[in-house]
Amino acid sequence: MSGTFFLGAVLIDGLGGEPIHNSGVLVQDDRIVAAGVAADITIPEGTQTVDVTGKVIMPGLIDAHVHVIGSKSLNMAQVALEPQAMQMGRALIDLPRLINAGFTTVRDVGSHVAVHIRDLIREGAYEGPRIKTSRHMLSQTAGHGDMHMLPSSFNLFTVCDGVPECIKAVRTQFREGADFIKICSTGGVLSEKDDPRWSQFNMDELKAIVYEAEAVQSYVASHAQGAQGIKNALLAGVKTIEHGIYIDEDGIELMLDRKAILVPTLAIVHRIIKEGHLYGVPEFGLRKARAVYREHIEHMIMAHQAGVTIAAGTDFASCAPVEHGGNALELQLLVEDVGFTPMEAIVAATANAAKALHMEDEIGTIQPGRFADLIVLDVNPLDDITLLQQTEHIQQVYIGGKRLK
C-alpha cells in the first residue's frame, strides 16, 4: 500500500471538538488510517511525509444542495429552451471551480446532466468532486418543479400526480441512475405561479414516494418552504428538508423527533436579493426572495437554537450571481445571520452535510476508515470564516488521497 503522512498542521477533524495542534494524518491508498497528535501515530516504513507545519488540515467541504446543471441564468424558461449539450459543457467547467474552492463532494438536487457528469468522474474522464444526484426533481402539476411559464412539453423535470404516477416517477429516476429522490412539497421562489407557503403533493403521494425510495435503501429530500408542506414531508418520512423558510415550532419538533436534517440554502436568496436584478432573475423571483429572507433567517435561528441538525447547502448553479466556486458563502451566512460559531459552520459543511448525503461513514470527518478527502489551508477559518471564500488560501485539495490542487 502507498502511504502519505501529513505532519504538523492544526487539525480540524469535522467533529466539532477542539483543534489538534502538531497533528498527523496518515493516509494509505484512498483512506485515512490514523489521525491525531503526530507523536502518537506509528508511521509505516516507506510512507511519504508531507510537511504542513503552520497550516490547517480539515475535511473537504461538502455542499449538500447544488444544481450541477450548466444553466446560463436563473430564468428557468431560458434554461428549458437551451440545448442540453451546451449545459453539459458549462457544468463540466464547474468541476475545477468547486475543487479550487475546497469542495470535494456535492449533492445535486435536480439536473438532467449531473448523472452523466458523476459517471464521467467515476470512470476518470474528468476530475471533480464526488457527486450524489437525484436526477430530476419530482413535482405535482402546477408545483414548484413544473415550468409554469412554458407549455408543459418543455418541462425539464418530472411532473406526476396520484399514487401510480408518483410510484412510476420514483422508479424511473432510479432506473436512470439517481442516487436519491428530490421532491417539491411546497411552492417556491423561482416558480412563477405558486407561493412558497402552498403545500404540494398529498400525503398518499408523499408516502408512496418515500416507500419506493426506502425500498431500494435510498431516501427522499424535499424542497419544503411552507410550514404545512414541511410537516407533511416529515410525517411521510422525508429525511432532509431543503430551505425550510417558514418552519414553525411543530415542524422543528418533528425534525428533532424524526432526526431529519435541515439544509437552509441562505446563500442563493442572499445573492438574488443583492445581485439578481443584474443577471436576469425574473421580477417574480426578486419579489418573492425579498419577501421571505428575513423570516427565513428568523426561523433558521429558531431551528438552530432548538438543536436541529443543519447542513450547509447553497442552491448554487452555473450562472451569476450563484456560480460555483463561491459556495463557502453559506458558512459565512450561518455565522453572521444565524449565530453559528465558525466551528459549527464547518461541521455543517462537513460532518452534518455528510449525514445529509447518507455518507457519514465515508466522508465528512478526518477519522480512520473515511475517504482521504482533505484540504490544507494557510489560514485558520476558525479565526475568520470568510477566509474560506478566498480560494488562494486553500493550497491543497485531495479526494480519496489523490491531490487535485
CB 373 within 8 A of CB 98: no
Cα distances (Å, whole numbers) of residue 384 to 62, 301, 394: 19, 20, 14
Q: Which of 315, 337, 355, 373 is the catalytic position?
A: 315
- What is the three-class DSSP state of 77? helix
Q: In what order do the strands lie in the sheet with 48-51?
A: 31-37, 23-28, 3-7, 48-51
Question: Given its phi and psi angles, is residue 135 left (phi above 0), alpha (psi -120 to 50 degrees) or beta?
Answer: left
Q: b/e per residue, 17-29, with b = 16+ CB within 10 A?
A: eebbeebbbbbbe
C-alpha–C-alpha distance, residues 66 and 99, integer Å = 14
CB 124 within 8 A of CB 187: no
Please give the grid coordinates belonging to residue 42.
506509528
Residues shown for the chain: 405
C-alpha–C-alpha distance, residues 259 and 360, integer Å = 14
For residue 349, give every residue at least 6 positions away whose Cβ sits within 8 Å of its Cβ, in sequence order, or none: 61, 62, 63, 311, 312, 328, 330, 331
C-alpha–C-alpha distance, residues 261 and 351, integer Å = 12
C-alpha–C-alpha distance, residues 239 and 242, integer Å = 10
Indicate the angle between helix axes 249-258 and 283-306, nearest 10 degrees: 60
Q: Which of 55, 182, 231, 288 is the catalytic position?
A: 182
CB 116 within 8 A of CB 88: yes
182 is catalytic: yes
Please give the grid coordinates belonging to residue 205.
403521494
Catalytic residues: 182, 315
